[in-house]
Amino acid sequence: MDHKQIRSALERARAGTEELLAPVSDERLSAQVSAVQSPLVWDFAWIARFEELWLLEHACGEPPVLERHDDVRDAFRHERDGGVAVPVLRPEAVRAYATDVREHVLEALERLDLDTPSALLRQRYVFGLVLQHELQRQETLLQTLELGGDGEYRLPRPHDPDRAPGGSDEISIPDGSFVLGAVDEPWAYDNELASHEVQVRAFRIDRAPVTNGAYAEFIRDGGYGARGLWSAAGWAWRSRRGAAAPLSWERDDDGWTRTRFGRREPVPPDEPVQHVSFHEADTFARWAGKRLPTEAEWERAASWHEQKGKLRYPWGREWVGFEANLDRLRFSPAPAGSYSGGVSPVGCVQMAGDVWEWTSSPFMPYPGFLAFPYPELSEIYFGREYRVLRGGSWATDGLVARTTFRCRELPGRRLPFSGFRCARDA
């Protein structure tokens, strides 16, 4: 990437953020609609602060502009533990700060020698880091926007996908080895590295994600009350939360409904289920006589071509726009079995976009892991506390939704656009 391409990429990401926030009043930007989600204005402030830290300060060696924005500076100094902010941030103050940061970044970028020997500048890594951070924050903004508040959020007309060719409900994958982790990905996060060969025993994996209709059958069969189906941790979570259906589902005389972006609507039976926790996915799989795939199994099914080797996306190296439901094409999952152009090498559909898919794997480092460029990116989260999700959702940008990307989340969280597909031993 040259200076012009970097500028264009930064501007594309910012345009997406501003487009999401444009319909939202300042009052709603500052409101905290959930105890576990920051107000929208705080996510925007963190987008600007991350850009300032890594591009203006670390990459370009320029002084920060934060000290000239008293309201934003003081709010950052008085955050509540856990990342949810107490101090009130004025949207106009954050807009001014973000604009100031961007102007200084673009000015400094013109003076920056991109060929300077630096780990951050090698293959333009630091720009990929900042771009991906903003694009991922956009998905966080959408989680908060979907929770609602007063009024409906304006939604675009949905994109209508084509149907993939039919096939067996399960795909058989034989014993064999493949390369797990990122290959030839200059902007891969440290937790995707280093790529290494792993042996995977024969298994079967669902061709498509589990649908709302199938999940409703699980509820109707008493799955939430069947203690024997749940792990000890899962049952404790269910009991504590009083969970009886996916997040926002309610039952009325006509069936299941859900609330999305301020609208009450029937639950589409053919869409992949979303907003379920790891515990719910794990229990459904057990009810179905199956299990969740490991992340190695998931990546094997999504990315490995026996002749071509590792693929960035299930269908190849590039996302043109018709292969998957990414980047807010629909603002909801597409019907299961969609996207003929997105079929994986083994025959699975929708392994990119629609819903993040829970795996059974804890978030652990790969052999030879090296933290870069800071431990808080991945290292501090390693352990059995977090589980790995794969594939991206309808809200995920194509830059992020590579087959090696590892999303980590607490097993009780349901706010992400999370669903799953099942697997079983062959």
pLDDT score, position 383: 96
Confidence label for 5 from pLDDT (cuts 50, 70 and 90): very high
Fold for 158-426, please state it.
paralog of FGE (formylglycine-generating enzyme) (3.90.1580)
Residue 251 has pLDDT above 80, yes or no: yes
Q: Enter the tokens of residue 262.
A: 């301020």
CA distances from residue 112 to 55, 101, 336, 393 in whole angstroms, order as listed: 10, 16, 47, 35
Residue 368 has pLDDT above 50, yes or no: yes
Residue with more model confidence, 173 or 32: 173
Confidence label for 149 from pLDDT (cuts 50, 70 and 90): low
Whole-angstrom distance, CA of residue 242 vs CA of residue 396: 30
**Domain at 3-147: CATH code:** 1.20.120
Whole-angstrom distance, CA of residue 94 vs CA of residue 421: 40
Structure confidence by residue, pLDDT tens digits, 69-108: 999 998 888 754 444 545 789 999 999 999 999 999 999 9
Question: For the chain, which residues make up each domain, given as ranges?
Answer: 3-147, 158-426
Q: State mean pLDDT over 312-324.
A: 94
Structure confidence by residue, pLDDT tens digits, 180-226: 999 999 999 999 999 999 999 999 999 999 999 999 999 999 999 99
Average pLDDT, the chain: 94
Confidence label for 343 from pLDDT (cuts 50, 70 and 90): very high
Neighbours of 377 (CB within 10 A): 15
> Which of left, alpha, beta for 175 (phi over 0: left; psi -120 to 50: alpha)?
beta
Strands (E), 330-426: 356-363, 383-390, 407-409, 418-419, 423-425
Is residue 188 within a helix (H) or strand (E), and if so which, with residue range?
none
Q: What's the Rg (C-alpha) of the chain?
A: 22
> Which of left, alpha, beta for 321 (phi over 0: left; psi -120 to 50: alpha)?
left
Lowest mean per-residue pLDDT among 142-151, 255-264, 269-278, 389-398 = 142-151
Is residue 352 within 8 A of residue 323, CB to CB? The reply is: yes
Q: State mean pLDDT over 413-419.
A: 95
Q: Enter the tokens of residue 244.
A: 């009886």
pLDDT score, position 82: 47
Whole-angstrom distance, CA of residue 390 vs CA of residue 400: 11
Rounded to the nearest 10°, the torsion over CA 301, 405, 422, 284 is 180
Residue keyed to tokens 């809200």: 395
Q: State mean pLDDT over 362-382.
A: 96
Strands (E), 130-270: 170-173, 176-180, 196-200, 203-206, 250-252, 255-260, 263-266
Cis preceding-peptide flag for 367 (omega within 30 of 0): no
pLDDT score, position 78: 74
Is residue 269 within 8 A of residue 213, CB to CB? The reply is: yes
Structure confidence by residue, pLDDT tens digits, 29-84: 998 888 788 899 999 999 999 999 999 999 999 999 999 999 999 888 875 444 45
